[in-house]
Amino acid sequence: MRPTLEETAVPAKPLTLLGKRAERPQETSAPALREHDPLFALVTSPTVRRALQPVAERLLGQTQGGVFCVASAEPGEGRTVVAATLSLMLSESTEKGVLLVDAHLRNPSVRALFGLPDSPGLAECLRGECRFLPAVSTVGGLRVLPAGRDESPARLFSTPAAKRLVEQLRDTCNLTLIDLPPLTSSSEAATLCDWSDGTIMVVRANSTRASTVLRAVEMIDRRKVVGVVLNRERQELPRWLERLL
Amino acid sequence: MKPYVMTALRNPLLWIVPAVLLPLLVAVGAVMTSRQVEVRASVWTQRSSLIDTPGVWLKVPAQTEADAFNERLGTESFQASILTAAGLDDRVQNGTWPGESSLASLLGKSALTKPLAGFFGGVSSGNVDSNHRRALDALKSSLKAVPQGDSLLYITYTGSDEATGIALVNGAVDVYQRETLGLSSADAQAVLDFYAKQVAEKQQVLEDQDANLRAFEAEHPAAVGSPRPPSEAQQLGQLQSIYNIRLSEYELAINRQGDAQVRAQAALTSSGADFQVVDPAHAPQGTTIKLRSAAMLTFVGIVFGVGLGGLLIVLRTWFDETVRRGEDVRRLLGLDLLAALPNLEKGGK
């Protein structure tokens, strides 16, 4: 029986660095029904958490915090799982405020993953239809900014408001993780990577070709690539054979 | 080594197909194509010489006959006669015997690959000379005479076509028997001619001697009541002695001529009594498989299949640029590996 988010998450804490305490993010309790969602089960899987522990510690070691993108070359590589798990782990491990932003406007999944209500998100904020803080939901100790809805994300992220928002995130949140759309199929992903402080590349093992990943890395500043999280790595050889070879 | 083993485990069909199925197919094909029938006729041979040549009996008759048959099988006229006797001329003409190999047939369908077909058994259509040549070669390689003991001889056909084998063996025996008897007749006639000439010569000599004797008696008639002078009696005695010698020579020649006539007549009227087919070719009891060639082909198939499978694995590994393991991240991407998540789920982004 895997632990539910309620069991694993620490109690919600206010984002201490958020500018206006009057505008508190809306509290959202982690829905118990989500435990049957396979994706959610992965996010809360002890195995996944144990594997991602070094990454979380590395991000926590960032003295100044910052904005980090979780990117991948192609769809279906496991970005959202990595981003959500890391966010949860970070929010549980630190008193610092941790924010997860879903920037994949074409195919958002963070809202569904956490079972958040249908409310304005990142897109509405960028269009100026709502303010930033009311759009942020709280899941345990984690703040979540869902994607919202927009027909042309590329145009939306090319506006000055987008860059201002990233700067605002850097100024107001200790640690922000942005779940990006695939780099090879969207231009806004590279833009956000350039504005961020670092990018974690997620690569699906046994699926993604090295040339595809390298092409994606060429689209962004390579120096900002913190490293690679290899997802779904298979133990292909029996242990005895592995030792033998 | 590890990458290759992993590639092999990841793509089992890549090596299973060539390394297992290929030898298997080759083995089945080898067994199928090496199925052969052996058709044979048994011949009783007891060769005799019409002329008493010393040493001719020192050799075993069956061995002599087998050597003669196999030697004659090397001549095109004998081969062509066998084809005719076996009724295969039409099939050779239209290319249905000995037939082309399936590979040659396949290659012959394309103008591009047609020249290659010659290396794999030739193409029959429209090439009668080539068919004839191949037919003769096939006949020569499939027929053989093997001695069994002193007087028994097997004329055998080894090949895949049972009916053709029967026709060829019976045809070969027939042609050989006919040609052998032909030679015997010629020998017999030569001997008869020789002794006839001898008899004629001896008869002439005898008649001359008889004339000499008569002439001497006419010239020196014997006086009644008185003996011949000693010199005449001596001359007459010498002439009579010579006559007696010529007479005995003539009689000997007559006797030999008589013997030769009897033996030649026996050879001509015996219908090959010294080359008798005791068991003509008939359908064999079963087929045989050339196990050695089948095993050899299978072994070659195994070596080739394993080699091909290994080559495919190596090539697949070399050209595989999929990121699979943690070490691939540094090797292929030049980036740091932060974490490796195990494969736990079937879906999800």
Among B215, B245, B268, which residue terminates a domain?
B268
In a domain, B315, yes or no: no
Whether B173 and B237 map to the same domain: the answer is: no
Q: Which residue of A has its CA nearest to B332?
A: A210
| Residue contact B2–A245, C-beta within 8 A | yes
In a domain, B260, yes or no: yes
In a domain, B293, yes or no: yes
Residues in A touching B328 (Cβ below 8 Å): 210
Per-residue pLDDT at A80: 92
In a domain, B337, yes or no: no
Per-residue pLDDT at B30: 77
**A149 three-class SS:** coil
Per-residue pLDDT at B61: 80
Lookup result for tokens 């009594």: B273
Among B222, B243, B268, which residue terminates a domain?
B268
- The ipTM of this complex is 0.82
Per-residue pLDDT at A21: 37
In a domain, B320, yes or no: no
User: Rounded to whole angstroms, how far apart are CA atoms B161 and B170?
Assistant: 14
| Residue contact B349–A235, C-beta within 8 A | no
Q: What is the pLDDT of residues B132-161, one digit of tens each?
A: 888 888 888 889 999 998 889 899 998 877
Report the gap between the CA of A115 and the closest CA in chain B (Å).
15
Whether B20 and B44 map to the same domain: the answer is: yes
Task: Spell out the residues 6+ positions from residue A187 whose beta carbon is closer than 8 angstroms to its own.
Answer: A154, A157
| Residue contact A233–B326, C-beta within 8 A | yes
Among B268, B286, B312, which residue terminates a domain?
B268
Whether B174 and B284 map to the same domain: the answer is: yes
In a domain, B92, yes or no: yes
Of A202, A174, A43, A18, give the one whose Cα is nearest residue B338.
Answer: A202
Average pLDDT of the segment spanning B312-337: 90
Whether B165 and B256 map to the same domain: the answer is: no
* CB interface of B with A, residues 285-344, below 8 Å: 321-326, 328-329, 332-333, 335-344
| Residue contact B6–A237, C-beta within 8 A | yes
Residue type, A126: L
- Higher-confidence residue of B11 and B35: namely B11
A61 inside 8 A of chain B by CB: no
A201 inside 8 A of chain B by CB: yes
Whether B198 and B167 map to the same domain: the answer is: no
Residues in A touching B321 (Cβ below 8 Å): 209-211
| Residue contact A209–B338, C-beta within 8 A | no
| Residue contact A217–B335, C-beta within 8 A | yes
In a domain, B345, yes or no: no
Whether B20 and B108 map to the same domain: the answer is: yes
- Higher-confidence residue of A33 and B248: namely B248
Lookup result for tokens 């980090």: A68
Contact A189, A183 (CB under 8 A): yes
User: Rounded to whole angstroms, how far apart are CA atoms B6 and B26?
Assistant: 28
Q: Which residue of A has its CA nearest to B1?
A: A245
Whether B154 and B258 map to the same domain: the answer is: no
Whether B219 and B156 map to the same domain: the answer is: no
Lookup result for tokens 């103008």: B111
In percent, the amount of chain B with pLDDT more than 90 equals 21
Per-residue pLDDT at A37: 67
Per-residue pLDDT at A9: 35
Average pLDDT of the segment spanning B186-196: 83
Q: What is the pLDDT of residues B198-242, one digit of tens each?
A: 999 999 999 999 999 899 888 888 777 777 888 888 988 999 999
Average pLDDT of the segment spanning B318-324: 88
Which stretches of chain A score pLDDT less than 50?
1-23, 29, 31-33
Q: How many domains does chain B have?
A: 2
Q: Which of B320, B336, B349 would you mutate first to test chain A, the one with the most A CBs within 10 A?
A: B349
Q: In terms of residue numbers, what domain contains B61?
A: 2-184+272-303
Task: Spell out the residues 6+ positions from residue B178 whose beta carbon is closer than 8 angstroms to its own.
Answer: none
Per-residue pLDDT at A63: 60
| Residue contact B338–A38, C-beta within 8 A | no
A19 inside 8 A of chain B by CB: no
Residues in B touching A206 (Cβ below 8 Å): 10, 322-324
Per-residue pLDDT at A180: 95
Contact A13, A141 (CB under 8 A): yes
Q: What is the pLDDT of residues B27-39, one digit of tens each?
A: 888 777 777 788 8
Whether B14 and B97 map to the same domain: the answer is: yes
In a domain, B311, yes or no: no
Q: What is the distance of C-alpha A106 from the center of its chain? A: 15
Whether B177 and B201 map to the same domain: the answer is: no
Whether B246 and B122 map to the same domain: the answer is: no
In terms of Cβ atoms closer than 10 Å to its own Cβ (0-12, 13-18, 19+), residue A53 is: middle
Cα-based distances in Å from B214 to B210, B211, B217, B218, B226: 6, 5, 5, 6, 20
Per-residue pLDDT at A17: 33
Whether B224 and B258 map to the same domain: the answer is: yes
| Residue contact A229–B340, C-beta within 8 A | yes
- The region of weakest confidence among A21-25, A69-73, B119-123, B319-323 is A21-25
Eight-class DSSP state of B1: -
